[in-house]
Amino acid sequence: MQDGPYLGVAASLTGRRWVGPDVGRTRAAEALAQATGLGPALCATLARLGVPAEECAGYLEPTLRELLPDPRSLRDMQAAAARVLRAARGGERIAIFADYDVDGGASAALLIDWLRQMGRTATLYIPDRIDEGYGPNEPAMAELAAGHDLIVCVDCGTLSHGPVAAAAGADVVVLDHHLGGETLPDALAVVNPNRQDEDGALGHLCAAAVVFLMLVEAGRQLRAAGARGPELMDLLDLVALATVADVAPLRGVNRAFVRQGLKVMARRERPGLVALSDVARLDTAPTSYHLGYVLGPRVNAGGRIGQADLGARLLAETDPTTARAMAEKLDALNTERREVEAAVRAAAVAQAEARGLDAPLVWAAGEGWHPGVVGIVASRLKELTNRPAIVIGLDGDTGKGSGRSVAGVDLGASIQRLAGEGLLLKGGGHRMAAGLTVARAAVEPAMERLAELLARQGAGQGGAADLRLDGLLMPGAADVEMILALDRAGPFGQGAAAPRFAFGDMGITFAKRVGESHLRIGFGDGTGPALGAIAFGAFDGPLGPALLDHRGRRFHLAGRLELNEWQGRRSVQLRLEDAAVASS
């Protein structure tokens, strides 16, 4: 057990309690260092991730060859791949029905790209978030069936019994990852690692990963027939983007998908992602952070407040000029989305605070809140409180909401149970994210029941203000070699948080406000060169003013280390997340 808060920080400048490694993890890190010869910071990270010494080498160099599961381990996979392959080789009319988020868009782009290389085109259909809502609907499926031989539903369809039945005259293949019900729609194939009759071993895959596995199986069937299919490794940039943006846990094959996908993306060969990176002014090699917080939100912007299919079409675009125009439109929509989100977030946080932030579930509901931003606001509430969060936009007699969960709490299953109990009009999702539709009169009882279900899974037991750290560093130890070593334990994201370190009793050598809300500082211990740090949004709270007006006081600083590249030179900087006044 750890004795008290780390470095004595019970309440930092942002009100958080610092939690460091306990005795057991410290000993595990020391044992890893002795057994492997790896550096202490890397061993501290590996110990927190639970990697034993004998698995370190494989963990630090994840490969698809070792980690890719057999696609045929998923039910209906062979039938799905055979049907898609027959349609592609036979010149049949193919339609792709996709969700409007990044995972749906990337899944659709994967199929479009693969079919293009097979000499075929496909009709893309993505429903409007407001007019049609999530997933297949009966009018759209009936219309698609009238003009197509095969409809492939990606990132949706597992619960769409009526819409699949409405697709009379066409075969339907579902490639999804959302939690399935007790019965499946009457499709030719439903490939989903979260079907009730699956063992859940691949339940952490996003939909794009399921689509990729289907393409692997299609390639196997092509080779068995003496033919050769498209090069699948070149498609992993899309799988990586979807995996991170859909907050899939970065473990097992997901780590390999993202690691390899980032390498593919760095080659800048996909016009849509090149254009999006350029309009976002991304001038370094992409990381999982960029996928989740720079590129993902822009791809999502069309589905949230603009043209639903714009993100998917950008990812599949082959002409750089057209891609640039699409990317600029998405960038503008993302700016508009941020403005809408800011207003909803302020109201939702105020409402949630009034209700209390220490319950198993944090939730807010408001009149006219845009359904395209409620999911993002739910994510902000989750990050603020370390609790599952639901945000609902009310319109007339109903409300449409979105939720985000924390590690160890299956939100999708609880939402689906609520729908089964009749407290929701409909709802579904996966462990970390879910959507729902609820009658206005049922909002309060539905949220009370959801809080009860989540509490049984342990929601609300973690400290809302804990900042978890991997150890203590001196500025002189934070060099480029150490950052490169830490990167080998990545990519970091959901289920594999980036390492965070503290720097104790530091003097501020330089402090400057950057833009409206950011802060840049230099700090050191007086024995060597100062280390630079950037704190984004520091002036949105107390962190920026306190450090800017430091008056010679010394501080404990905490955050994530990263490489800063400028004019061909690499340097280390701290992405500062928190600080506390050091005791005199």
Cis peptide before 127 (omega within 30 of 0): no
Cα Rg, the chain, nearest whole Å: 24
In the chain, the largest separation of any two C-alpha atoms, in whole Å, equals 78
Q: Where are the alpha helices (DSSP H) in 225-282?
A: 236-245, 253-266, 271-279
What is the per-residue pLDDT for 465?
62
Q: Choose among 534, 491, 529: nearest CA to 512.
A: 534
pLDDT tens digits, one per residue of 196-253: 999 999 999 999 999 999 999 999 999 999 999 999 999 999 999 999 999 898 989 9
Sign of dihedral through CA atoms 274, 278, 282, 285?
positive
Residues 45 and 489: beta-carbon distance below 8 Å: yes
Cα 421 from Cα 403, distance rounded (Å)? 18
Cα 579 from Cα 544, distance rounded (Å)? 10
What is the per-residue pLDDT for 460?
80
Q: What is the mean pLDDT of residues 296-305?
A: 86
pLDDT tens digits, one per residue of 383-399: 888 899 999 999 999 99
List the structure tokens of 370: 């845009």
- Residue 299, SS3? helix
Q: To the nearest 5 percent, what fractions of the chain are helix, strand and coil? A: 45, 20, 35
What is the per-residue pLDDT for 463?
63
Q: What is the mean pLDDT of residues 177-183?
A: 92
Cα 506 from Cα 494, distance rounded (Å)? 30
Q: Choose among 43, 38, 3: nearest CA to 25.
A: 43
List the structure tokens of 170: 């066409």
What is the per-residue pLDDT for 493?
84
- Residue 542, SS3? coil
Cβ partners under 8 Å of residue 216, min gap 6: 68, 71, 232
What is the per-residue pLDDT for 1?
44
Cα 270 from Cα 234, distance rounded (Å)? 9
Q: What is the mean pLDDT of residues 541-545?
A: 92
- Residue 239, SS3? helix
Q: Residue 584: which pLDDT band, with cuts at 50, 70 and 90?
A: low
What is the per-residue pLDDT for 157?
96
What would the 3-class secondary structure string for 76-119 be? Answer: CHHHHHHHHHHHHHHCCCEEEEECCCHHHHHHHHHHHHHHHHCC
Cα 427 from Cα 528, distance rounded (Å)? 57
Instruction: Give kind and range of the element (H or E) at residue 504.
Output: strand 501-514
List the structure tokens of 5: 């808060």
pLDDT tens digits, one per residue of 93-142: 999 999 989 999 999 999 999 999 999 999 999 998 878 888 899 999 99
Cβ partners under 8 Å of residue 401, min gap 6: 365, 374, 378, 390, 391, 392, 393, 435, 436, 437, 438
Cα 237 from Cα 243, distance rounded (Å)? 10
Cα 517 from Cα 448, distance rounded (Å)? 37
User: b/e for 243-267, b at 16 or more Cβ within 10 A?
Assistant: bbbbbbbbbbbbbbbbbbbbebbee
Structural domains in the chain, CATH included, are 6-20+469-581 (2.40.50.140), 66-331 (3.90.1640.30), 356-455 (3.10.310.30)
Cα 423 from Cα 445, distance rounded (Å)? 8
What is the per-residue pLDDT for 563?
84
Among 171-175, 343-347, 423-427, the range of highest mean pLDDT = 171-175
pTM of the model: 0.86
Q: What is the DSSP letter of 61?
A: S
Instruction: Count other C-beta atoms under 10 Å from residue 199's C-beta.
Output: 9
Q: Choose among 289, 321, 317, 288: nearest CA to 302.
A: 317
